[in-house]
Each structure stands twice: as structure tokens, then as C-alpha cells.
Amino acid sequence: MLTIWGGLKSNNVQKVVWAAEELGVEYTLVPAGMEYGNTDTPEFRARNPNGLVPVIDDNGFVLWESNAIVRYLGARYGDMYFYPTDLQERALADRWMDWASLQFYPALRPAFFQLVRTDVPNRNPVLIEESLAKTETCAAILDQHLADKEFANGPHFSMADICLAVIAHRWMGLPATRKPRPHFERWFQSVRERKTAKKLLVLPLR
């Protein structure tokens, strides 16, 4: 049995839960992090010394860091498309997973926290404007990449789409004006309509 510690407000936890759902892996979700707490206990720190979610225990194998978890689940339970068997195809999927974590979300995060989790009187308009501009740059990069591709890695849904889509969901759900990105929007609509995604990519944003 797979156990996942985390809360579904977290995009990193969403990635892991979505991967488990997509792969048909039975799991138990243990609330932890954010409003749940439970991450400063000796028991939790023994699983992840950073005190962060998500963490998994897969029949005694403990792992933290969301992208590493998604890759592990894909390698163990996925097919040749979700976790590409071709080394170059897998490297391309890895690239987009890491880009989502290191470029896309850091650009979006200030605007997301300001517009979704900060009361109006306490918002910083300059910070929001800077964040939206940086995120538009990322959205343009992904839109261009998707111009001739159904999914991030080509014709098949893969682990890369999960890591990109949990960030895209926050971008598309923000109460802000966005530039039209037809390829990005077509791709996001497609992944959002997956049965597994509908359980996680919900509005309004939290």
C-alpha cells in the first residue's frame, strides 16, 4: 500500500496524488503540512528531515521531493509513455518537470500568493505585476513548445504533463488578465478534462 503525506492545496502534493491516480495505484492520503501541521514531529522528520510534504512510503520505501516521487511512481507503475523508456524522451520529460519547478512556479508564486492567499488591503501591486510579467514569459515558452505537440512530450500524456499542469491550473485560475496562448490553452483544456485531473484541478483556487 502506498501512503502519501500532504494536503491537496499544495501543487507538489497534487502532482504525487495525480500520478498515483493516473497509474491506478491504491493509496492512502495522510493530511500533513500547511493547515494540517504534523510535519515537526520526530516521526515525520524521520521520514523527511526537511519537514516538508509530500512524502511517500511505498511498502517500506520512503521518498521525498515531489518530482523524484513522480518519477519513481512512473518507473515502478507506469507504461512506456508515462515514464518514457527511451532515454532521450525521458530526458525531455525530465526537463519540463524541472522547468515547471524551477522557472514556471517561481515566476507565478508571488502573484498566486498575493491574489489568492492575501487579503486585498495587504496586497503588493508591484510584486503582482512583476510576477504576472514573468509568468507570461513562461507561458509563451510553453505555448511555443506545444504548437506542434498534443502533450508536453509529443503524442502521449506523460509525467511531464502532470508537473506542468498543476502550475498551469494556478495560472489559468488567477483573477488576472492573461495574453491569449492558443496552444497552451488547448493543451491545458485537454489535460484538465482527464478523469484523474478533475479530482484535483478544482476552482476557485485555494
For residue range 171-204, what is the model confidence (pLDDT) as tens digits? Answer: 999 999 999 999 999 999 999 999 999 999 999 9
Which residues does 202 contact at the CB level (< 8 Å), separation at least 6?
none
How far apart are the two ends of the chain, measured CA to CA in Å? 29
* 10 grid coordinates: 499544495
* Preceding peptide of 155 cis, ω within 30°: no
The reported pLDDT for the residue numbered 196 is: 95
Q: What is the mean pLDDT of the chain?
A: 97
Please report where in the chains the cell 495522510 appears, as a residue. Answer: 30
36-80 pLDDT tens trace: 989 999 999 999 999 999 999 999 999 999 999 999 999 999 999
Asked if 82 and 22 count as a contact pair (C-beta separation under 8 A), the reply is yes
In whole angstroms, what is the distance from residue 67 CA to residue 163 CA? Answer: 8
pTM of the model: 0.96
The tens digit of pLDDT for each residue in 108-165 reads 999 999 999 999 999 999 999 999 999 999 999 999 999 999 999 999 999 999 999 9
- CB-based burial, 19-50: b 16+ in 10 Å, e otherwise: bbbbbebebebbebbeeeeebeeeebeebbee
Torsion of CA 42, 45, 47, 51, to 10 degrees: 150
Nearest to 110 by CA among 86, 126, 93: 126
Contact 22, 62 (CB under 8 A): no
Chain CA centroid to CA 79, Å: 20
Residue 30: strand, helix, or coil: strand
pLDDT at 74: 98
With a pLDDT cut of 70, the percent of the chain lying above it is: 100
Enter the DSSP assignment of 29. E
Residue with cell 502521449: 156
Whole-angstrom CA distances from 131 to 57, 112, 169 are: 35, 9, 16
